[in-house]
């Protein structure tokens, strides 16, 4: 069952063979700053996400991570986006790898916080009272209303924030289990942010959370578009990490 409403479905996704993901690319962000999500939580199961139009039912789409030449966690494409060095694993020489800096909201290309990086901007949504960081060069577009926002890269990968009313006034756990048709929650799928607790899909490409009043379900989703290479998974993690509910 799709987790997103029909109108808001990304135009691509599918049955994802998680075993095909290259876990090596996920393990290069060890840091003393903070414990980062374990790669073990990212690539263990096969789940159905949304129903793609272009991929016949039953066809498995293998996703993999983009090239990371210096093995610092960030793909080469992400390094270009952030002006960090694609062959320097610690561009600013502060002892923390570029990948660790990004997902902890520090600037991999220089001193200080990520907001000091001119390639990163703050998006604020007043209607639903949230904000998050995103790549400045990405195109933002509203799809129908303020409840469906798309951040799109130049090579047509995208990260969406979709907000649905909590029509049955459920707790997040109950809503999630109903959406996935499951009876128990895998504790490894729990995620937390600066001021929220959430749940993720097993492939870590979908994050779900509610506002404090539990009026809405916020879904953050990363899709590589029509491609199969995840070039911006760390950008997605950065956007999730920076996601801030005002109230
Ligand atoms: Ca890299
Ligand atoms: Ca560094």
Question: Where residue 60 falls among pLDDT bands split at 50, 70, 90?
Answer: low
Q: Which ligand is the nearest neighbour of the Cα of 82?
A: 1
The per-residue pLDDT for 19 is 41
Instruction: Find the 203 Cα to ligand 2 centroid distance in Å.
Output: 27
Instruction: Find the 106 Cα to ligand 2 centroid distance in Å.
Output: 9
Q: Which ligand is the nearest neighbour of the Cα of 108?
A: 2
More confident residue, 218 or 146: 218
> Which residues are close to ligand 1, an ion, with C-beta < 5 A?
68, 70, 72, 74
In tens, the pLDDT along 102-129 reads 999 999 999 999 999 999 999 999 999 9
Instruction: Find the 94 Cα to ligand 2 centroid distance in Å.
Output: 5
Q: Which ligand is the nearest neighbour of the Cα of 73?
A: 1
Q: Which ligand is the nearest neighbour of the Cα of 77?
A: 1
Question: Where residue 61 falls among pLDDT bands split at 50, 70, 90?
Answer: low
User: SS3 for the chain, per residue?
Assistant: CCCCCHHHCCCCCCEECHHHCCHHHHCCCCCCCCCCCCHHHCCCCCECCCCCCCCCCCCEECCEECCCCCCCCCCHHHHHHHCCCCCCCCCCCCCCCHHHHHHCCECCCCCCEHHHCCCEEEEEECCCCEEEEEECCCEEEECCCCCEEEEECCCCCEEEEEEEECCCCCCHHHHHHHHHCCCCCCHHHEEECCCCEEEECCCCCEEEEECCCCCEEEEEEEECCCCCEECCHHHHHHHHHHCEECC
Instruction: Find the 116 Cα to ligand 1 centroid distance in Å.
Output: 20
Instruction: Find the 96 Cα to ligand 2 centroid distance in Å.
Output: 4
Spans of all domains in the chain: 6-245
Q: Which ligand is the nearest neighbour of the Cα of 104?
A: 2
pTM of the prediction? 0.78
Instruction: Find the 42 Cα to ligand 2 centroid distance in Å.
Output: 24
Instruction: Find the 107 Cα to ligand 2 centroid distance in Å.
Output: 8
Instruction: Find the 73 Cα to ligand 2 centroid distance in Å.
Output: 12
Q: Which ligand is the nearest neighbour of the Cα of 107?
A: 2
Domain 6-245 CATH assignment equals 3.90.1170.40? no
The per-residue pLDDT for 144 is 85
């Amino acid at each position: 069952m799709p987790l997103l409403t029909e109108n808001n479905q990304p135009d691509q996704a599918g049955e994802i063979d998680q075993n095909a993901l290259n876990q090596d690319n996920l393990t290069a962000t060890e840091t003393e700053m903070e414990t980062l999500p374990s790669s073990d939580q990212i690539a263990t199961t096969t789940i159905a996400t949304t129903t793609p139009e272009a991929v016949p039912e039953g066809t498995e789409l293998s996703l993999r991570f983009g090239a990371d030449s210096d093995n610092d966690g960030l793909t080469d494409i992400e390094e270009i986006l952030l002006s960090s060095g694609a062959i320097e694993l610690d561009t600013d020489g502060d002892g923390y790898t570029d990948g660790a800096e990004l997902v902890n909201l520090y600037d991999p290309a220089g001193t200080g916080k990520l907001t000091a990086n001119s390639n990163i901007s703050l998006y604020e949504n007043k209607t639903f009272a949230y904000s998050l960081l995103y790549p400045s060069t990405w195109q933002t577009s509203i799809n129908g209303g303020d409840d469906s926002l798309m951040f799109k890269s130049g090579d047509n990968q995208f990260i969406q924030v979709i907000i649905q009313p909590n029509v049955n006034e459920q707790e997040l756990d109950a809503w999630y289990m109903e959406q996935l048709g499951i009876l128990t929650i895998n504790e490894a799928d729990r995620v937390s942010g600066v001021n929220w607790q959430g749940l993720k899909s097993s492939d870590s490409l979908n994050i779900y959370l509610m506002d404090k009043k539990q009026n809405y379900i916020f879904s953050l989703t990363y899709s590589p578009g029509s491609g199969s290479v995840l070039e911006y998974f760390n950008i997605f993690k950065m956007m999730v990490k920076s996601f801030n509910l005002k109230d």
